[in-house]
Amino acid sequence: MIRAVLDANVFISGVLSPHGVPARLLAAWRAGEFLLVLSPAILAEIGRVLSYPRIVTRHGWSERQRVTFLEDLEHLAVLTPGATRLRAIEADPADNRYLECAVEGEADCIVSGDAHLLGLGIFRGIEILSPAAFLEILAPGR
């Protein structure tokens, strides 16, 4: 089964736009079509962004709903220890968290819309794909 790291922005987009490609990726994960690989740093980023006032206004979730969403992610994903440190992306060092997670979690791919990550193409044998490209791999023609 494919092991994939999803960028925090994929999660946020999936929550805010329930009919877009990111939402379809979250549904595919929930349906068991791939294994989600996460790290403590990525979980923290998702939680932080979901709590931004402008994001709260858009999704309308209560604090309890946000906590439950994060707990579900933590319990249902493959959680890495978060011990690996890499310096592959100098322009935006925070993006390295996705590479670190993918390496630790032996992921097949990273799914992101971030230009720094996509610009790498492949990192240590780990493919870096846009959400649409990953969806096409999971279900061609979907």
Q: What is the CATH number of the domain that holds 45?
A: 3.40.50.1010
User: How many domains does the chain contain in total?
Assistant: 1
CA 72 to chain centre: 14
Check: CB of residue 108 under 8 Å from CB of residue 126: yes
- Distances in Å between the Cα of 77 and the Cα atoms of 89, 93, 142 are 25, 24, 24
Task: State yes or no: pLDDT of 141 exceeds 90.
Answer: no
Give the dihedral sign, CA 94/100/105/111.
positive
Strand 109-111, strand 78-79: pairing: unpaired
pLDDT number for residue 139: 84
The predicted structure's pLDDT at residue 4: 98
Q: Show the domain range for 65.
A: 3-138
pLDDT at 135: 96
CA dist., res. 102 & res. 24, Å (int): 21
Beta carbons of 105 and 3 less than 8 angstroms apart = yes
Spatial strand order in the sheet of 35-38: 78-79, 35-38, 3-6, 109-111, 126-129, 122-123
Model confidence at 53, pLDDT cuts 50, 70, 90, reads very high
Asked if the model's pLDDT at residue 142 lies above 60, the reply is no
Please say if the pLDDT value at position 43 is more than 70.
yes
The pLDDT confidence band at residue 133, using thresholds 50, 70 and 90, is: very high
**Which amino acid is located at 16 in the chain?**
L
71-113 residue pLDDT tens: 999 999 999 999 999 898 888 889 999 999 999 999 999 999 9
Q: Which of these, 136, 110, 117, 120, lies nearest to 6 by C-alpha position? A: 110
More confident residue, 34 or 139: 34
